[in-house]
Amino acid sequence: MQDNCSILAAYGKSNVHCEWQQRVYDYFSNRFPDRFTSVKTMTEYARNLLLNDPKGKAKRFLEHLLVLGGFEKCHLSVRTIDNAPRIVFTYRKFGLIVDIPENDEAKGKLRFLGMSSWLYRQIESPTFVMLDGIDKELHPDIRAFFYHAFLHNCQKESQLLFTTHSFYLLDLGFIRRDILWETKMGNHFDTILTPMKDFRIPKGNSLTNAYKQGKVGEHPKIGDFRLNLKKLGFKVKEEKKESSEIQEKIDA
């Protein structure tokens, strides 16, 4: 059985050399970095950027972005810890110097550091970046700052594709609705995409309210929060039954 892959992917696995195909292959290889799906992959990207930064330009950029993003000022370095390279965050405050290795640093700060790392690359050279779940571990205002930084500082050729469960950013108004898509799982475990414009939400109306009213996408089917503990195999004391009867009388 043959692998189901694109012509470019097949060319990358072959020993055949074609000059024009090689140029196309190199173009996409250089402009489409790996997909970022976790803090781990983003931290690895930031670490590699710092390791290949002989003039310290990326280091200065990342330290500056961390402060602008609302994080405590720190100095970044890469050191060998347990026989492996690790990012170390050095804080100077009240005459004390404290080193915190990446494994002990807050996940929100690591995620923002990773985001800032590929923002640095996107400013340096046009790049297409994919991130699954950009709304994790970060305050909404920090995410909004990052999106603004991307829109105002990157070249037009740079693109950012991300998924989110948050409507907060969408209601801020600076993300155009014609670039938004609603996603859901299909019957065959495929991903079905629907452009936001197809829902015909009037300009100026809140997307959050439209979603709550069932006009955008589908609501998850939520069940009753009052669990039938006895049916689920738990021992239910009689006083709980009595207290529920009392509550019913109060509600009445």
Residue range 69-120, pLDDT digits in tens:
999 999 999 999 999 999 999 999 888 999 999 999 999 999 999 999 989 9
Count up the domains in the chain and report the number. 1
> Angle 120-163-12 (CA atoms, 0-180°, nearest 5)?
65
The answer to whether residue 1 is domain-embedded is yes
Does residue 20 lie in a domain region?
A: yes
Residue 2: the pLDDT is 47
| 88, HSE (Cβ side, Cα atoms, 13 Å) | 11
Distance CA 252, CA 228 (A): 22
Structural domain contains residue 21: yes
* Three-class DSSP category at 183: strand
**CA 92 vs CA 67, 72, 95, 99, 123: distances in Å:** 14, 10, 7, 9, 29
- Range from 48-52, 89-93, 129-133, 231-235 carrying the lowest mean pLDDT: 129-133
Dihedral sign for Cα 113, 117, 119, 124, please.
positive
Closest CA to 92 of 59, 62, 63, 52: 63
Average of per-residue pLDDT across 147-164: 83
Domain residues for 21?
1-31
Domain-embedded: residue 251: no
- Give the rounded percent of residues in the chain with a pLDDT score beyond 90: 29
Instruction: State if pTM tops 0.85.
Output: no
**Beta strands in the chain, from DSSP E residues, in sequence order:** 75-81, 84-93, 96-101, 128-131, 159-162, 181-185, 191-195
The predicted pLDDT at position 1 comes to 37
Residue 175 and residue 135 in contact, taking contact as beta carbons nearer than 8 Å: no
Establish if 14 belongs to a structural domain. Answer: yes
Residue 24 resides in a domain: yes
